[in-house]
Structure formats: structure tokens, C-alpha cells
């Protein structure tokens, strides 16, 4: 069983448009409303493929109630911590060529008491978990090391922890000894403070995170696939998508597939790539199921 923690979940509305023109009235070709947030998406992807998962998240206002209803409709087990703020809503505009424009709200502020309640819920669930996955942005009101605080408690309890976040929170998670980090290319470049011009730069940056204390680093590179850097060395892979529809949640599906396949080595990387590519071929933030996976399209490079 895999527990996910999303401190800043959302309602994600994805709108498909023929073209995006600033200042114009645009008619949507299609629209989708999905539960959102990185950890939420990881749980959705896992459950779509028969892997047990529990999603822990704060929830507030009518938007929070709707988020919980959508998750339960998909069969996701939710442990919601009530908060005084309103759960945020995000908007994604997707064009036919695969261009995606995102508008993300900052989310509600969380107080220390609310965060402590989340920590308590997670620690209870972690006792029977294979992994705890900490994902997404840190909401206003909490320090940058919020995920790192939780990571240290979990690591002290002998729990494997994966973290997918950005900025100072990503650095703090590495310093806290996260078992696995899953940044994308931009997040990796930001945290090391250096542009990543080629694959060697990506590998060097991932090694810096490992030097800070992280165990394994899997960097998602969009259409260029992913890079896995661990104690065994460096592995890279790709899985091309003929008709991209939405990149929203693709990195979350990649992480879910990697964890579902054991989170180690070439086989797990290949499975993650298949899940991530399948997500790109689906609308909105829809997570792929077994029928969507094209494992034969995955290529692992030396």
C-alpha cells in the first residue's frame, strides 16, 4: 500500500481549445474537471492500475467537498483534514499541438495546528505502507521545510519516502534524506542554480541532490523521457507519444508507475515511462489504466 500526501490539492479544470488568443473570446472544444494535486494524481494512477493507495490531504470549502466527492467516485480512499481555507482551483488550456497553458491558484494558508493534524494522520497510515509519497507545492503559511519535517519523522520510523516538489522545499527534502526525489528538468535546474543544457548536466545535478542526502533521483524530462540516478549508476529512457493531448499529471503517472514496479532499476524506470506517456495521450489530468499503457514503445538507453 502506498500513502500519498498532498498539502496543496486542487480542482483541475482542463479546457481544450483550437488556439489560444490573448484578449479573444474562445470556444472550448472540450472540458474536463478532475481531482488535482501531485499526490492526488499518484493515488489515482495507482488505483487505476490496481495498486492500493490512500490519499491524505487538507480540504476546505465547497471546492474541498467537491474534490473529495470526485476522488471517492474514482474509488480513491481519502483521509481529509478539515482546514479553514478554501481548496484551490486550477485551469489548464490545452491546444491541439500539445501546448499547455496553466493557471494555478496559490492555495489556502495552513496553520500549524492543521499541519500537525496532517502529520498525525500520515504517521498512523505509514505503519502499514510500502511508501509514503509527499507531493506538490507547500501552501502559504507553512515553512519551506514542511515536507522535510515529515520526511525526517517517517525516515526515523523506517518508512521509505518519495518526494516530488520544487524550489527550497526540494532542497530541504534532499537534506532530510528522502529515499527518492522526482524533480522535472526545470525544478532540478532551479534547485542547483545552474542551467541544464544537456543530459550530462542533468546527471550532474541529480548527483548533487544525492550528495546532499537523497537516495535515488529520477528526473522527468518531458518528451525526452526520464533519467534515473542511484547507487547503481545512471539509466535513461524514452517513450514517444504520437498525439499528445495534455502533459498535466504526466510526471505524477511516471512516479506512480515507478513505485508500482518496485522503484528500483531498469524495469521500474520502463514501467514509469509507460505510465507517464499514457497520461500524455489522455485529456486533462486523466490517469491511465492498463489498457492505455504501451510498454512496447519504451526504450531504455545505455
User: Phi first, then psi: what are they for 227, rounded to 5°?
Assistant: -125, 130
Residues 6+ apart with CB under 8 A from 161: 131, 132, 133, 134, 151, 154, 155, 178, 179, 180
Contact residues for 25 (Cβ-Cβ < 8 A; gap 6+): none
Helix (H/G/I), strand (E/B), else coil: 132: strand
Which residues partner with 27 through β-bridges?
none
Please give the Cα distance from 266 to 264 (Å, whole number).
7
String of DSSP letters for 180-204: EE--BHHHHHHHHTS---SHHHHHH
Is 252 assigned a catalytic role?
yes
DSSP letter for each residue of 21-40: -TTS---EEEEEEEEESHHH
What is the C-alpha R_g of the chain?
Answer: 18
Indicate which residue of 12, 252, 292, 297 is catalytic. 252
d(CA 55, CA 34): 15
- Give the contacts of 296 (CB within 8 A, at least 6 positions apart): none
Q: What's the chain's length in residues?
A: 302
Checking phi first, is residue 177 left (phi over 0); if not, alpha (psi -120 to 50) or beta? left
Q: Which residues have a catalytic role annotated?
A: 252
Amino acid at each position: 500500500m502506498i500513502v500519498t500526501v498532498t498539502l496543496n490539492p486542487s480542482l483541475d479544470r482542463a479546457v481544450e481549445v483550437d488556439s489560444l488568443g490573448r484578449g479573444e473570446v474562445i470556444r472550448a472544444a472540450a472540458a474536463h474537471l478532475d481531482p488535482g494535486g501531485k499526490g492526488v494524481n499518484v493515488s489515482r494512477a495507482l488505483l487505476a492500475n490496481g495498486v492500493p493507495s490512500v490519499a491524505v490531504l487538507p480540504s476546505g470549502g465547497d471546492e474541498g467537498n467537491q474534490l473529495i466527492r470526485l476522488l471517492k467516485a474514482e474509488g480513491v480512499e481519502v483521509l481529509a483534514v478539515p482546514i479553514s481555507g478554501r481548496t484551490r482551483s486550477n485551469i489548464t488550456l490545452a491546444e491541439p499541438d500539445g501546448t499547455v497553458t496553466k493557471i494555478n491558484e496559490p492555495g489556502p494558508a495552513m496553520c500549524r495546528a492543521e499541519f500537525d493534524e496532517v502529520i498525525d494522520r500520515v504517521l498512523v497510515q505509514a505503519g502499514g505502507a510500502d511508501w509514503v509519497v509527499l507531493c506538490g507545492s507547500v501552501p502559504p503559511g507553512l515553512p519551506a521545510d514542511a515536507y522535510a519535517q515529515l520526511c525526517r519523522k517517517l525516515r526515523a520510523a523506517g518508512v521509505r519516502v518519495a518526494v516530488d516538489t520544487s524550489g527550497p522545499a526540494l532542497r530541504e527534502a534532499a537534506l532530510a534524506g528522502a529515499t527518492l526525489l522526482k524533480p522535472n528538468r526545470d525544478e532540478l535546474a532551479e534547485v542547483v542554480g545552474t542551467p541544464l543544457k544537456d543530459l550530462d548536466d542533468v546527471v550532474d545535478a541529480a548527483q548533487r541532490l544525492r550528495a546532499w542526502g537523497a537516495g535515488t533521483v529520477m528526473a522527468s524530462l518531458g518528451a525526452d523521457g526520464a533519467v534515473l540516478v542511484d547507487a547503481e549508476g545512471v539509466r535513461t529512457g524514452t517513450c514517444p507519444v504520437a498525439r499528445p493531448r495534455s502533459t498535466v499529471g504526466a510526471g505524477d503517472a511516471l512516479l506512480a508507475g515507478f513505485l508500482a514496479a518496485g522503484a528500483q532499476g531498469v524495469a521500474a524506470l520502463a514501467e514509469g515511462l509507460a505510465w507517464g506517456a499514457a497520461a500524455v495521450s489522455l485529456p486533462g489530468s486523466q490517469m491511465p489504466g492498463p489498457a492505455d499503457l504501451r510498454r512496447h514503445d519504451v526504450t531504455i538507453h545505455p
